[in-house]
Amino acid sequence: MDKAWMSKNGLSHEYEAGVESFLQFAMQNANDPNEIPFPCTRCGNLQMKDVRTIRAHLCCNGMDLTYHTWIWHGERSTVKNPMNDSDQVGPDEHKYFAEETIDMVHDAYDSYAENPSQFHKILEDAEKPLYSGCTKFTKLTALVKLFNLKAKYSWSDKSFTDLLSLLGEMLPDHNELPLSYYDAKKSFSALGMNYVKIHACPNDCILYRKEFEDLSNCPICGMSRWKLGNNSVVNEGIPAKVLWYFPPIPRFQRLFRNKEVSKELTWHADKRICDGYLRHPADSPAWKVVDQKWPDFASESRNLRLAISADGINPHSLMSSAYSCWPVVMITYNLPPWLCMKRKFMMLSLLIYGPKQPGNDIYVYLAPLVDELKCLWEIGVDAYDAYRKEYFSLRAVLLWTINDFPAYGNMSGCVVKGYQACPICGEETYSTRLKHSRKILYIGHRRFLPRNHPYRRQKKAFNGKQEFNPAPKPLTGLEVLERVDKINYRSGKMSGKLQREELETKSCWKRKSIFFELEYWKHLHVRHVLDAMHIEKNVCESLIGTLLNVPGKTKDGVAARLD
């Protein structure tokens, strides 16, 4: 079936004709014409309505381009058996997997590669029809849809158990649906990815790994490794704080085991248009620095260029900062721009579980990830390229981190508040404290104008002085390393209180970033970047609110006028 119309302009005749053909196909395979899943980019097949409403959604929101096989609308899916090269298709085999489910099966195959019989047993259990005669759902696809709904609507574990129990009673006897959240999670986790639970000090001093692996108390603050119960009784075996670590190397190897993905991982070298325009990180000077300084790394187009992003979230969906959970997500830039930011290719590598945010001690939790990045750079790992059908040595480089401004300071070790909060100007930051607003004002931006710009000579419109100083030059990685190499920073919340006075000196650096353990880090031009979302939201919203005098949003208040 031709699906080229999905990527066409929503106002074109081809798109309109494609929508009509899709709706006809969905109507022919629907049990109830008023209960058809929405395949638009906004709904993602999680809501069900009539054809008229779906047509309006597809015209307004567009078709979900990741919905390649119309599995929720009656199309039969072709699933490649990872144990051989033959395609197994047919109405009796019940291969109705969504794209994410197929990837899970391939990942599980790699995990059980040394024991094929065990994998076959798990796969057969996942592929069972939901009940005898069911042609719409298998056990696994039903669980995928239910877990998606659980996550979307924030259902509690107890309510999810009650729902499964009710659905089990509604379905025919001897159905395959688990009757509790615990059983569903057990069925689901067999095909999931591997992870490592690393115990951590509740004060963020250390991780209990390497030389600290067998300790029961933190050697820095003395806190117990185990959770304290009633009357401060130590619950042996229950860790006080846990880091969830998802090793990236096995997942990088799995990427190359998929023929289509392996082909796309060299897009930057095979298909990218080099015309001087910046459309992809591969067009940036930062990418070219790696190519020029390490030509042996650049000669293998399959070597990965990575970025990581970290920020605090509240998993309980409350507008409160009382609880903070920090995911660290890894992005692969080898892929084309329409794929590298897809959820499927954004890898969760660390989950720093709350309730307190790690702050400046986040480097303690980044240590396992940095160790693997060092291995990927210095040694490499063996990987099999399913597209080219050959083994090769896979290496990787971390180009930069992506954060909001507070997390920028945590990751880089620089000061992001106070009188020297500009990472570019550093010790040459022009700042003063406003008496009435009780905030620090950052001035001196005329230094960045051309030397002969007329604003440099104006006095009245600015601070009553002319400005002829040159713009400060950003420090190179080598210069930053020279300044932070001798800083003695003590990790942990308790240590942080003791050295607070030391951090309030005139230095704009708090500590040495853990990423300097990577051999190439000091040579990169850009090491930490700010994400555009926060800049658009916070800065632009304040500007527009002030210019338009929006109530509650404007910064033009009494204190500002007095200052």
pLDDT in tens, 530-552: 988 888 888 888 999 999 999 88
Per-residue pLDDT tens over the stretch 264-310? 999 999 999 888 899 899 999 999 999 999 999 999 999 999 999 99
pLDDT tens figures, 131-188: 888 888 888 888 888 888 887 787 888 999 999 999 989 998 888 888 888 888 877 6
Q: What percent of the chain clears pLDDT 90, i.e. is strictly above it?
A: 38
Q: Clarify whether residues 526 and 540 are in a common domain.
A: no
pLDDT score recorded for residue 128: 82
Q: Are residues 370 and 417 in the same domain?
A: no
Per-residue pLDDT, 316: 67
pLDDT value of position 36: 84
Q: Is 327 helix (H, G, I), strand (E, B) or coil?
A: strand
Structure token pair of residue 254: 């799995």
- Tell me which of 33-37, 144-148, 437-441 is least confident: 33-37
346 and 219 in one domain?
yes
Q: Is there a single domain that holds both residue 232 and residue 312?
A: yes
Domain boundary among 154, 189, 224: 189
Separation of alpha carbons 181 and 163, rounded Å: 9
304 and 428 in one domain? Answer: no
Q: Which of 117-131, 154-168, 306-320, 502-516 has the lowest mean pLDDT?
A: 117-131
Residues 391 and 480 in one domain: no
CA distances from residue 42 to 38, 57, 65, 346, 507 in whole angstroms, order as listed: 9, 8, 12, 19, 48
Q: Please indicate, yes or no, whether residues 436 and 303 belong to a single structural domain of this protein.
A: no
Helices 13-29 and 51-61 sit at what angle, rounded to 10 degrees? 150
Is 212 found in the same domain as 101? Answer: no
Instruction: Return the residue matching tokens 């003791």.
Output: 498
Whether residues 239 and 376 fall in one domain: yes
The domain tally of the chain equals: 4
3-state secondary structure 247-288: CHHHHHHHHHHCHHHHHHCCHHHHCCCCCCCCCCHHHCHHHH
Q: Are residues 164 and 232 in the same domain?
A: no
Q: Tell me the average pLDDT across 79-88.
A: 38
355 compared with 120, residue with greater pLDDT: 355
The parent domain of residue 503 ranges over 410-511
Please say if the pLDDT value at position 255 is more than 60.
yes
**Same structural domain for residues 301 and 199?**
yes
pLDDT at 496: 54
**What pLDDT digit, counting tens, does each position of 8-34 carry?**
777 788 888 888 888 888 888 887 777
Q: Which of the listed ranges 71-80, 171-180, 396-405, 419-428 does the model predict with the highest average pLDDT?
A: 396-405
Query: If you average pLDDT over residues 411-418, what whole number do you get?
Result: 90
Span of 48-57, 62-71, 80-89, 399-408 with lowest mean pLDDT: 80-89
Residue finishing a domain among 189, 215, 232: 189
pTM: 0.72
Picking from 189, 217, 242, the residue at the C-terminal end of a domain is 189
Q: In terms of domains, do 395 and 422 share one?
A: no
**Quick one: pLDDT band at residue 506, thresholds 50, 70, 90?**
low
